[in-house]
Amino acid sequence: MAVEGMDPRRIGRELDGAAVTVDPGLPAPVRAGVEELVRRPLGPGAGPRVHVGPTLPGLGPGERLLWMHSTNAGVDALLAASAGWPPGALLTRTVGRMGERIGQYVLAWVLAELQQIPAFLEQQTSRTWNRLPTELADGTLAVVLGTGGIGAGIAAALRPCGVRTVGAARTARPVPGFDEVVALGAPDGPGAPDGSGALSAELTAALGEARWVVGALPLTPATEGLLGSGFFGALAGATFLNVGRGSTVRTEALRRALEEGRVAHAVLDVLPGEPAGPGAPAWELPRTTLTAHSAGPTTAADVLADFRAAWHALSAGRLPGLAVRAVRGY
């Protein structure tokens, strides 16, 4: 993978003389693990800066950011910072076991719905004994928007249960773990990937057959507001889950789709504005469950594992696998 303007061999050569800092709000094990890896005291210094944290570090006069390792998987806020991303600085991100965690989150909601768990919980509350029909996952179709590490983790969790998985990405291509990957097209967003303002024919067909539709898209200029009336209009009673970024979804379009029955149920782990206060519009959506951005928590072990892998890659003159392409936003 090429990242614009990045020479990993140059960055690797500069690591020995770099000052390394860790955001003070991170857990102590992260600081200790980073210090052990880099074999020097942490703190600002005379050399270029390597920083681990969720936000850009404050730099002194003449200081240069060489590389930042974000403790989050989503880096849209970093790239959209008012001062802009520092030219020539490498950005890597933390993914850890997020694909596995989010895959199991999606699987849990899929199985809960098929096994009527919400309805049985309601019956428990009212002390009502009714046998409810349940279903197998085998033979159902899930469309997963986004085929990166998180999308692949979702497909990996669903496929052993017999769920057919169709991924949607910028371009149609074979992707390991998916039964098929189709082109996304540009449903609603003005900056959408191909500028067409329409779903691809293949995705339209898949959405019409899907039992489950899962949003796992990063937030970029191309995906902001991408899932609106054009997208939801192609659904025919699917359950929609969003575990990507909240601002990829147009809330009012989702509301209309729920009211019209095009979306049977929505599970939203992410929202355009977080945290959601009591008056947030999402609380008023019918047949919708909010889960407070809890599907894929990042642990200290995740941060350390991904930073360590990136450090070793750069030390060997290789670009880390989790390097961010700033022009794409992921």
Catalytic residues: 245, 274, 293
- How many C-alpha atoms does 42 have within 13 Å on its Cβ side? 17
Helix (H, G, I), strand (E, B) or coil at 305: helix
Q: What is the largest CA-CA distance in the chain?
A: 72
d(CA 74, CA 65): 20
User: 3-state class of 290 per DSSP?
Assistant: strand
206: nearest Cα among 176, 175, 181: 181
Residue 228 to residue 186: CA distance in whole angstroms: 10
d(CA 230, CA 225): 11
Cβ–Cβ < 8 Å for 185, 199: yes
Cis omega (within 30 of 0) for bond into 275? yes
Distance of alpha carbon 302 from alpha carbon 262, whole angstroms: 38
Bridge pairing between strands 180-183 and 212-215? unpaired
Number of C-beta neighbours around residue 36 at 10 A: 10
Sheet holding 288-290, edge to edge: 180-183, 164-169, 141-145, 212-215, 238-242, 263-268, 288-290
